[in-house]
Structure 1
Amino acid sequence: MATQIFSSTVSTSSTIANYARLGLASQNELPDMLRELLLIKEPPHLLEAHLHNNSFLSRNLKAYEWNIIRTVQENSYHDFDVPLMYKIIRNLNLVPSPSQGWDNDTQPSAFEITIGDDVERIRRIRNEIVHRGNTNVQDSELVKYFSTFKSIASRLESYLSKPKREFVSKIEIAETCCLDKDTEQRYLRRLNDLAEHEAQLTMGVAAVYQDLGSLRLKMKGNVSTLQKKIDSVIKEQDEVIPRNIRDQIEKDLQKLKHDDEKFVPTRAVQFLLNCLEKENCVTVVGSPGIGKTSITRHVALKMEASGYTVIPITVPTDIRNFYQPGKQTIFVVDDICGNFTANQNMIDSWKQLLGVVENILSDKCKLVVSCRSVVYKDKKFSVLVPFKSCKSCNMSSTEFQLSKSERMKIASVHLGKHGYEIAQNCLEEFFPLLCFFCSRQENVNINKFFSNPFSVFENELDSLYCQGEDGKCKICALSLCVIYKNELKEKYLTTNDPTVRVIIDNVCEACGLNIGTSRVKIKEELDTLVDTYLKKERNIYQTVHDKFFDFLVYYCSTKMFCCLVEHAVSSLIHERFIWNKIRHEQDRYIDEFIIIIPDDKLALYLNRLVKDWSKEKLRKVFVENNNMKSEKFRDALLTDLAHRDSEEQEKLANMTQTYNGTLLSCLEVCCRQEYTNFLPWILKQGVDKAKSNSNLTPVSLACMVNNKEMIDKLLSFGTDINKSGSTEMTPIHSSRCYNDINVGIVNLLMKHRACINNQMFNGSTPFLLALSTNQNIQVLKILLYSSANCNIGLYYSETIRNKMEMVEVWTMKEEMTFWLNWFTDNCSSVVDEYVKQEQDRVLEIIGGATPLHMACFKNDIQIIELLLDRNSIINKRKEDGSTPLLLACQFGFSDVATLLLEHDADREIRRDDGKKAIDMANQNNHLEIVSLLGNPRWKMNIELY
């Protein structure tokens, strides 16, 4: 095919360069124009839902196209090519149809210049260039193409309200810019690759039909075989999981089924199976070694027998990538959010996927999750509501802890005739794990092992030191597993990576081996430990169980503390080490395998923290390090920093890290974590104290967590109290966000002249936000008496949607969900039910609402009286034309209606649909209000009004 394309005519350098220019325009500029069109007509966060709602399009999108679509919220439309964008624009009716219709045999004429015509032109021109089969483009032909490109660009500029020549100038550059040989060849290769790819797709489809015809003629009786082949092709197109990953999952499942043969059913199993008949999500909680993983896998395999497809989840994003709507699937998540402490990064990753999880749980899918007790109890884990609020099975509880008969059965399966006595005497929670370990040991004293298993392991490892080079190489191999946090990749011992070599040499030295010991020798000894201490899966060495890894980390810390601190991966350093002076500040530090930092090693540990900090690992140091929660430890770190030169201090204080698309600074992280004692040091280093890299400024963050001391410190350094973040939220806004609001903070902000009537992206003022999010009447009075304007309402829905396009940290779905939840949490059932029936229009319902409207939605007489006393405009209309009185009449709030009428509310105002207050009361059968509105008393008030 390539030969055919590049040999059609005798080539010249200029005609080939012309062809490359066409490639540049068709691969870059034309697609970019369609991407701009999509950004305006179909915001990325709405795309996937709209595609699922379009049954024709969702059926006809290929699996690889779905994989691209699922990245749209992270990558926008960057990876979308012209054919895919054309499908979306056409089938979602984003623009009017072309004059001749979509994909007509007749192309648009020169006089047909609607936006639909130009989308059709772009597709046709792109296909024409890719499939032209001739790389020679004469100058006259090039001029004709680019004249068409510029006309399209000019019209799209106008249609999309872009600055004049924004698109045209890029086309002109593509037409006239100097193309070096490498660039020219790159675009020629791309054109050739596209042509070959699409030709192969066509040939693939044609081959299927050719096979079909041939088989029909030759083997009429073999219809079933043919159908299987067709079904296989169709199934492959529909599969969202790549074949190589499916094969690996199948391989893993076969191993699970083999391991499951020794599983002993317990009461917990039946409980989980019963739960999954009614619920779609269950969480299995317990300490390490208690059997969480075994039980979740056993239950999943039972569900497989009922028709479910089992998908193990190894990283959070797998659940989004492997989810196939409408397909009965059970996802199994092992040790969610950490296997020693609650891992904040994993929590954040799952938090971003909660929308996906909710969709999965509302479909024909199940989730079975295992979670360590220490993680489940961590307050950070509470944000993952689906996993925290669902049915849980606590393996340590009286209800589900192993019974005597269950222990005997487990011991018998693993230990045979020796199991009876062991089951009687060993009461360890991790009894199942001990049975598993013991069954793998040779010449072990069973009684001694079960009475003190980790002492046995320690003695065995100690004995390896006495077995010469072979034994020390085994210790070295196990230590490398610790260094790489139980993910020792085989390639580290087979490739010559200088960085890895340095680490190996340091570990060798710590183990009593010569520097430069052969990696081959270490790998040979490592392989001998597989199936006893270690397992090897997908070319990665891991311990057979996390509980043994916990012990192994602790053991290595007693033998090579300095080596661990210097070389272990950051997450291990930050979650497993604790300074001896703060070990009792939190209960979890009594863990038997926590590593204590003695005073004489504190400087070494602090130096490692600063090293990670200098590599922009701010979250590792400030968020995930358990020591940093202690003010005493932070003081020790500050003392260490003070002894460093000023240039290094300034560099550290100004360090930033990009996390989930947001740039975090040291100041912001310290404010989020409430590290008050760190602020003076950071601010003295000359950081920009007003700069906001996210939706909240440092002062806003301090207000959000109600930390008056932090606010004082920030303001004392001259921080701008009215600086806002990307959502236009100022500190006075953020101080309104919680019910336990500190009145002293409000007074402090007012004292420093906070602008009280600034509006956020949705129109919320501090007063309106306070009314929406808490019931502190004292705060509302402070704001009103400080001249808060109680007549400023939310923006109309269209304005909110337009402003949302500029807000990166808050999606349209999140904004709509916020208001839906607000109605549920704050309003009566009659209001909530009305909103839920119109939930797609929730922004229209709330759009333009003033504080008085909000109080009427809530049927809150006290707040309404407060607002009326402050001259709130009683007849102000929101987006749909409703006044506060119209809302009271619609929902049957007679007390509110009476109060509003007493303050001269106008009964004659109509909503945009023409309905008056009396119409709303009649329509909803609120007879008391109908009678109230007919009272002559109000007629007199209206005449006076």
Structure 2
Amino acid sequence: MPTQESGAKMNIKDNLPVSTDTTEGAAMSRIKFYRNEIAHNDSGTLTEKQFHQLWEEASQAITLLGGQHYMQRCSDLKVCSLDSHDREILIEIRNMRSENIPKGATVVHNSLLEEWSNFDEKVVQTRAIKRILERLEEEHVLTVIGPPGCGKSTAIHHAALQLRDQEDYVIVPVNFPGEIKQYYNPKCKQVFVYDDMCGKYAINLQMLDNWCTLSTAIQVILSRKNVKILSSCRNYIFKDRLFSKVKLLSEVYFDITSANNALSEKERSLIAEVYLSPKEVLALQKSNNFTKYDFFPLLCQLYSTKESSDVVVYFSDPIKAINVELESQMNETDQTTLATLFLFVIYNNCIDENVFNQRAEIRNILLNLSDHFLISSVLSINVVKLHLNKLINSFVKKCANAYSTIHDKIFDILVLFCGKMYFDLCLEVAHTDLIRDRFQLSSLHAKTSDGIVIVAVSKEDAYFDRISNDIRNGHIANVFTNSQMKYISYQQKIIAHLKKTEDLLKIVLSLSEKESSPLLTVANQGFNFLVHSLIDIGFTVNVRDQIGRSPLFLATDSNHTVTADLLLNKAANPDLCNNKQVSPFHMACLNENIEIVKLLVNSKCNIDIQNDYDQTPLFFASFVGQKEIVKFLLENKCDVNINSKHNNTPLHAACYFDNVEVVQLLLDFKCDPNISSVYNESPLFVACMKNSILSTELLLETGCNPNVCTQVEGKINPWFVFKNIYILINIIKKDKNHQKRAILLELANSYENVCAEHAIHSGMLCFFEFKGPLSKPDSAFNMTLLYIASINGFTDVVELLLNHNANPCLGTGFNETPIFSAAEKGRVEIVKLLLKFKADPNLFNKHNVCLLQRASLNGFSEVVYMLVIHGGNPNHYDGYTEPAVNLATRQSFYETVQILLQLNGDPNIPNFEGKTCLHIASENGDIEMVKILLENHADPNILDNDLISPLFVASKSVHVELFYNYLVRNAYLDDDLILYDDQLAPPKQCTAIVKLLLRYKADPFSVFESGFNCRYNIKIRS
């Protein structure tokens, strides 16, 4: 774009030029400024007002540079839709922000998102969807639950697309919890979307265990506030007792079919109108089937694909209608279509095109199908592909390179149909996951749910032959996580089958000492018969999984007391720890299971065993406040004074959650209350920091020193410790039991560095940028109990400490005393208490800032009043930080300014620039503040270091001839006569301030003496 300044060096600046500057350099500067504003916008959004202002100014700059023909182009672009090229650019930008995601996965994700976007055009925004979006404004994790086909996935996909389009989130469709860690990108906002969390038909135990293991690590990611997890879950999976173990997913949920959220008749009509003709909608509304099914949206979608059908008949029994359609395919002379659909049973509803490249395997499968279905021609790969593509939009959909049924509900019906009509074939070739989740022996006489394929007694031998094949094919985990394992009779049948088949027993026993040992799985589920049987046939009882958990550890963690007893009787090692040296004994104490604790002690376990951070089971029990377990351990001679890695004792742990009965027990058994951590933190300090009032009082009564000060100088607090402490404080507050578990098992290092929490609460970390390891803290981080209690507003603790001779004049390494922190935070009652106990109101910190300056800056007028009447100096000024009156004036705290002025505050003390309160108030255009100052003897004729008066500041936009008229004629300045420069004029109150200053004898010549014309480049109108 050629410009007039092309031949010369263009002056492009980083800041926004004044609007009167119409040079090309200024135009380029504006474009650069607004580009940076958008690029560095943390929220990723603009208000409508901001957008219009930005667009207007950027358009003017572009028009100035390129000519008038760009004006219309900018106007058109403001309201146009993205064309295909623009959309490709947008996708490319989003892909650039997905740098942590492999290219192959990005291709799949983009294909999924395209499918979601296309379907989203038909989505009706129901009240449920609106409420989900509202919940997401506050929540970072939301699980949407409901039965199949009710619109769960549609709702979360729509919500994710809204987050992308309106708040600039990157959508990451995922299947496993580990993908959050793998794909997390701290440089952008992300929403991870999970469909059918933890299983579709039965709960996926391995997936559930992975979520439990990774929950705290995921909490670390969520603490960044730029990540959301949005998932759907079938309601019967969500209600499974095991699902509640994953607090991260189960605490915040949205039931899409509850009475308050279910589709209204109006919403059903709107959905029906998207897919059906007006005549069909009317017929359906008149029938009794309009509100009959939760999966109404799916029915409308499916019905719209039928060439001819009676809408009322179809909706009266849709499952029957789909079965009738499948039966019609079965009754055809050519069953190629049904044979093709059967492939979904073999591949568990996901036929990846890559399977067609494995020609030997797929040909054997197709040959087998040809023997069971009437096929008019050879069932070849090409024929299958042709039929799959023909079935798209009726039974099948294709995303990226994979085919699946159009909805999981259709797959459920298909599996049940094939299991009934082609049982033998289904049992022989169905996917191993279907055998695990969807088959049930009739001989169990157990309750069955919808979608279960019943195995008749006459077919049990064939069923166990299939189980044998799964074992031989390496699907042993599926065999031992079978949904029928909860029935003892099924467990007995499995063991009997293994014992009579030597090669199977050998295969299973080969896993005896491996991380995938079935003994680990059954112990975790508390299947006692299987535990006993597997050990008896030769399984190693002390095997450990990939993170070091033994069968005893898993049984203890899941509170299976009988299983734990059984394992101990089978020689399980009670001291076998996981990879973090956490033992079953630790877990029993953490879970507050006194019965397992007694079993472990009776088995001669190491009662003082220590984990990686040297914490004992007593430490764990004290932390969770389990009085009965603590008493039992103490009576069994555990060492009460074993210190953790950073010298914390069980007494420190008990004080953390104010477990006062445990504190008393520990003191009774001679736990030393004067042992301090490596940071010189006593148990009393922890009690004060956590506002543990009862524990604080008890420790003070035992004679603990209330004036102990932390010592952090020379101690290293790495950055990740501070990061995890932040999570510990802010993220896992909702469930205290979950918080305790997370602290002890995942954030132990954070707990051991509790002093970091003090610094965070004290606001001291503003001196650091969290970009790498912190240097060694200096003595500035040292602080007293009274300081911590004061800054956090723990009034009762402050009073307890003062009544036990805590010194209110001891400060931090910054020379900030307890009253300093209380005044800064506006803790009125605490300030009163500290002043009552002779706290000095005139102390100032290391930077020479006093209490009154901090309180005034924050507008705490009541605190300011108390400090001044107790002798605080309102005029303290060190030549750098402004006096209290100036600070309050700058913030427009009228009440604070009035209090200071009434109590001998001087409004005429200049700051380091020579500016008084009047200069500041005039700059702000604050007429009310100017009036208060003038009424309290502020001098309007004091000049600052640049010889500028308050009158000059207030009148910088007023034309000079008006002052000339005032001087010559002594004229009255009428509002209508005041003329302002178009660009520089402040709001109307400028006029009132000028008049007010003149009324209080401001010198009008100061305007000229200050170089009015020269400084502001304002022309005198002739």
TM superposition score category, shorter chain reference: 0.5 to 0.7
Give the C-alpha shift of residue 331 in structure 1: 4.7
Instruction: Describe the shift of the 1:275–1:669 C-alpha distance in structure 2 as closer, same or farther (beyond 3 A).
Output: closer
Q: Is the CA contact 2:427–2:466 (under 8 Å) kept in the aligned structure 1?
A: yes
Alignment of 1:68-467 (within 5 A): 239-240=98-99, 249=109, 252-306=112-166, 308=168, 311=171, 313-316=173-176, 319=180, 323-350=184-211, 352=214, 355-356=217-218, 359=221, 362-364=224-226, 366-390=228-252, 392=254, 394-416=255-277, 417-423=279-285, 424-426=287-289, 427-467=292-332
Tell me the residue number matched to 1:664.
516
Give the C-alpha shift of residue 296 in structure 1: 3.2
What SS is found at the alignment partner of 1:311?
strand
Q: Is the CA contact 1:320–1:353 (under 8 Å) kept in the aligned structure 2?
A: no
Rounded Cα–Cα distance in structure 2 between residues aligned with 1:674 and 1:397: 33
Alignment of 1:526-925 (within 5 A): 526-582=388-444, 584-585=446-447, 589-591=448-450, 593-623=451-481, 625-645=482-502, 648-655=504-511, 663-693=515-545, 694-739=547-592, 741-743=593-595, 745-775=596-626, 777-796=627-646, 848-885=647-684, 887=686, 896=695, 899-900=698-699, 912=711, 920-921=785-786, 924=789
What SS is found at the alignment partner of 2:516?
strand
Give the C-alpha shift of residue 300 in structure 1: 4.0
Moved more, 309-318 or 675-684: 309-318
Give the C-alpha shift of residue 256 in structure 1: 3.8
Tell me the residue number matched to 2:926.
none
Which ranges of structure 1 fall in alignment gaps of 5 or more residues? 1-58, 60-220, 797-847, 936-945
Instruction: Describe the shift of the 1:526–1:644 C-alpha distance in structure 2 as closer, same or farther (beyond 3 A).
Output: same
What SS is found at the alignment partner of 1:456?
helix
CA RMSD of aligned residues (A): 4.0
Q: Is the CA contact 1:689–1:698 (under 8 Å) kept in the aligned structure 2?
A: yes
What SS is found at the alignment partner of 1:369?
strand
What SS is found at the alignment partner of 1:442?
coil
What do residues 657-711 of structure 1 show as CA deviations (whole Å, max 9, x unaligned)?
98xxxx2322222211111101232122333323334433323333333434323
Amino acid of the structure 1 residue aligned with 2:631: K
What do residues 852-906 of structure 1 show as CA deviations (whole Å, max 9, x unaligned)?
2223344444223322322223432322223335555777767656655665657
Give the C-alpha shift of residue 388 in structure 1: 3.0
Q: Which fold has the larger relative contact order, with Cα–Cα distance below 8 Å and residues 6 or more apart in sequence?
A: 1
What SS is found at the alignment partner of 1:573?
helix
Rounded Cα–Cα distance in structure 2 between residues aligned with 1:228 and 1:708: 59
Which ranges of structure 2 fall in alignment gaps of 5 or more residues? 1-38, 40-69, 75-85, 713-778, 791-797, 808-1022
Amino acid of the structure 1 residue aligned with 2:410: F
Give the C-alpha shift of residue 516 in structure 1: 6.9
Rounded Cα–Cα distance in structure 1 between residues aligned with 2:87 and 2:243: 46
Rounded Cα–Cα distance in structure 2 between residues aligned with 1:729 and 1:349: 18
Q: Is the CA contact 2:111–2:400 (under 8 Å) kept in the aligned structure 1?
A: no
What SS is found at the alignment partner of 2:454?
strand
Tell me the residue number matched to 1:27.
none
Amino acid of the structure 2 residue aligned with 1:602: E
Rounded Cα–Cα distance in structure 1 between residues aligned with 2:572 and 2:505: 21
Amino acid of the structure 2 residue aligned with 1:425: N
Give the C-alpha shift of residue 542 in structure 1: 1.3
Amino acid of the structure 2 residue aligned with 1:340: Y
Instruction: Describe the shift of the 1:687–1:405 C-alpha distance in structure 2 as closer, same or farther (beyond 3 A).
Output: closer
Amino acid of the structure 2 residue aligned with 1:674: G
Rounded Cα–Cα distance in structure 2 between residues aligned with 1:688 and 1:437: 53
Give the C-alpha shift of residue 480 in structure 1: 0.9
Give the C-alpha shift of residue 235 in structure 1: 8.5
Rounded Cα–Cα distance in structure 1 between residues aligned with 2:295 and 2:276: 16
Instruction: Describe the shift of the 1:341–1:928 C-alpha distance in structure 2 as closer, same or farther (beyond 3 A).
Output: closer
Instruction: Describe the shift of the 1:754–1:605 C-alpha distance in structure 2 as closer, same or farther (beyond 3 A).
Output: same
Rounded Cα–Cα distance in structure 2 between residues aligned with 1:422 and 1:683: 61
Q: Is the CA contact 2:170–2:188 (under 8 Å) kept in the aligned structure 1?
A: no
What do residues 382-434 of structure 1 show as CA deviations (whole Å, max 9, x unaligned)?
34444433352x23222222222222333333221122121342122222222
Rounded Cα–Cα distance in structure 1 between residues aligned with 2:241 and 2:479: 19
TM-score by structure 1 length?
Answer: 0.61
1:487 to 350, 360, 368: 350
Moved more, 892-901 or 593-602: 892-901
Rounded Cα–Cα distance in structure 2 between residues aligned with 1:918 and 1:487: 61
Instruction: Describe the shift of the 1:389–1:632 C-alpha distance in structure 2 as closer, same or farther (beyond 3 A).
Output: same
What SS is found at the alignment partner of 1:262?
coil
Rounded Cα–Cα distance in structure 1 between residues aligned with 2:400 and 2:91: 27
Match status 1:521 vs 2:371: no
In our comparison, the structure showing a higher alpha carbon Rg is 2
Tell me the residue number matched to 1:205.
none
Rounded Cα–Cα distance in structure 1 between residues aligned with 2:687 and 2:435: 60
Q: Is the CA contact 2:149–2:296 (under 8 Å) kept in the aligned structure 1?
A: yes
Tell me the residue number matched to 1:16.
none
Amino acid of the structure 1 residue aligned with 2:400: R
What do residues 61-108 of structure 1 show as CA deviations (whole Å, max 9, x unaligned)?
xxxxxxxxxxxxxxxxxxxxxxxxxxxxxxxxxxxxxxxxxxxxxxxx
The structure with the largest helix share of the pair is: 1
TM-score by structure 2 length?
Answer: 0.57
Rounded Cα–Cα distance in structure 1 between residues aligned with 2:788 and 2:563: 54
What SS is found at the alignment partner of 2:462?
helix
Instruction: Describe the shift of the 1:786–1:614 C-alpha distance in structure 2 as closer, same or farther (beyond 3 A).
Output: farther
What do residues 189-223 of structure 1 show as CA deviations (whole Å, max 9, x unaligned)?
xxxxxxxxxxxxxxxxxxxxxxxxxxxxxxxx9xx
Amino acid of the structure 2 residue aligned with 1:558: K
Tell me the residue number matched to 2:48.
none
Rounded Cα–Cα distance in structure 1 between residues aligned with 2:170 and 2:500: 56
Instruction: Describe the shift of the 1:657–1:363 C-alpha distance in structure 2 as closer, same or farther (beyond 3 A).
Output: farther
Rounded Cα–Cα distance in structure 2 between residues aligned with 1:532 and 1:365: 36
What SS is found at the alignment partner of 1:853?
helix
Amino acid of the structure 1 residue aligned with 2:558: V
Rounded Cα–Cα distance in structure 2 between residues aligned with 1:278 and 1:864: 38
Amino acid of the structure 1 residue aligned with 2:636: S
Rounded Cα–Cα distance in structure 2 between residues aligned with 1:889 and 1:467: 80
What do residues 286-318 of structure 1 show as CA deviations (whole Å, max 9, x unaligned)?
211222233333444445553535625143465
Give the C-alpha shift of residue 364 in structure 1: 4.4
Rounded Cα–Cα distance in structure 1 between residues aligned with 2:281 and 2:553: 61
Instruction: Describe the shift of the 1:786–1:467 C-alpha distance in structure 2 as closer, same or farther (beyond 3 A).
Output: same
Match status 1:473 vs 2:332: no
Amino acid of the structure 2 residue aligned with 1:452: D
Give the C-alpha shift of residue 487 in structure 1: 0.9
Q: Is the CA contact 1:281–1:361 (under 8 Å) kept in the aligned structure 2?
A: no
Instruction: Describe the shift of the 1:420–1:538 C-alpha distance in structure 2 as closer, same or farther (beyond 3 A).
Output: same
Give the C-alpha shift of residue 456 in structure 1: 2.6
